[in-house]
Structure 1
């Protein structure tokens, strides 16, 4: 799951999410398969751990009205599984319409044609389970449980707080593309990584782990 890091892209407000996503659902299935193959490349190299995101205690938060305006992500926290990464990137599509991918184990990628976190629609985040012998940012994604929180920090100094609804492990040839990428009437989140058995022949995991959640609140530091 290694590729040149895409330059940060401003979230597009042109056209509906449905118009942009409908023609690309098949390509996004292929993109997830590409993630599964590339995430498993482990050659012993390692990269420095990225900056850590910070989840503020309730006493240091000021509530912000939701839904939020569009903004870039700057970090992701899931305290129940020890995820706290401030190493993020914006992911676009390559020339062949496959999803670009993070270039390091610690990086969390936001698909920039999905909703900005806290706005209406599904925010899609992808990261490695492991990479080049190093534990990936989403190494323990499958341990998230319903009711756990996932915080996405944004570059406008606000944080969108999501609660996990369900966690699914699915075969890659049965990936729930519409459930992950199709428009929603509220603000939701999807977290994707690889899982299941590692196939030595294909150098790929056979499954994907997908976390579904919904926005419950937003805050900024006091």
Structure 2
């Protein structure tokens, strides 16, 4: 059952989809580029529109890793039926909270995290539900280790990540360093809300966090 969130809580702290633990905020913010832009831009991959589905092996050609930086145009995870082509770039607000997508179907990429496929951790966030609609990450918790998540990019390449683990954590114990900290390899973090919806605070008690690593990349034949 979906639950409507109030407009006043349509934001995330850098530790979840409504608020974050402040314990490591200073550490994380120290590595941010000064003058973060809160830019909203949907992906566009030409006249045919952005691609949001996984291509069969016969229609792929491998691409060398790591990939150069590029904007995202879609996210797919075949094992849970995820095929999102509505994407946006997310930045920080004045209070150091992270903007969240403005619709249920949109996946947001935190623009100061790594570009998916490059070295570092790329952070994507989306709603589990929003204003009565099922969110893009509604079934995120159903991802299992070994499943794949594909991030489609505007240079016509797709970065394929393999899931290592899926954690459910209380928002007041959010692992900020594990999610936003520096890593040497190309990794992916997917974040949404989970657990019990708290009617008093109008927010979920927990976050669902997927940790995945880059295992291949391809482009259409």
Task: Confirm whether residue 166 of structure 1 aligns to residue 165 of structure 2.
Answer: yes
Partner of 2:74, secondary structure, is strand
Task: Confirm whether residue 33 of structure 1 aligns to residue 18 of structure 2.
Answer: yes
TM norm structure 2 = 0.80
**TM-superposition CA deviations, 1:110-153 (whole Å, max 9, x none):** 00000000000000000000001100000000000000000000
Partner of 1:99, secondary structure, is strand
The answer as to whether partners of 2:17 and 2:100 remain within 8 angstroms in 1 is no
The answer as to whether partners of 2:151 and 2:158 remain within 8 angstroms in 1 is yes
Q: State the match for 1:218 in structure 2.
A: 217
Using the alignment, how far apart are the partners of 1:210 and 1:188 within structure 2?
Answer: 13
Partner of 1:201, secondary structure, is coil
The answer as to whether partners of 1:52 and 1:87 remain within 8 angstroms in 2 is no
The answer as to whether partners of 1:72 and 1:116 remain within 8 angstroms in 2 is yes
Using the alignment, how far apart are the partners of 1:28 and 1:74 within structure 2?
Answer: 22
Q: State the match for 2:42 in structure 1.
A: none
Question: How does 1:135-154 map onto structure 2 within 5 Å?
Answer: 135-154=134-153
Q: State the match for 1:97 in structure 2.
A: 96
Task: Confirm whether residue 196 of structure 1 aligns to residue 195 of structure 2.
Answer: yes
Question: How does 1:106-145 map onto structure 2 within 5 Å?
Answer: 106-145=105-144
**TM-superposition CA deviations, 1:152-172 (whole Å, max 9, x none):** 000000000000000000000
Partner of 1:214, secondary structure, is strand
TM norm structure 1 = 0.79
Using the alignment, how far apart are the partners of 1:186 and 1:89 within structure 2?
Answer: 24
Tell me by how many angstroms 1:97 deviates: 1.4
Identify unmatched segments of 5+ residues in structure 2.
21-49
Q: State the match for 1:55 in structure 2.
A: 54
Task: Confirm whether residue 185 of structure 1 aligns to residue 184 of structure 2.
Answer: yes
Partner of 2:69, secondary structure, is coil
Q: State the match for 1:76 in structure 2.
A: 75
Tell me by how many angstroms 1:55 deviates: 1.0
Using the alignment, how far apart are the partners of 1:172 and 1:96 within structure 2?
Answer: 18
Q: Larger helix proportion, structure 1 or 2?
A: 1
The answer as to whether partners of 1:92 and 1:112 remain within 8 angstroms in 2 is yes
**TM-superposition CA deviations, 1:11-47 (whole Å, max 9, x none):** xxxxxxxxxxxxxxxx623x64349xxxxxxxxxxxx
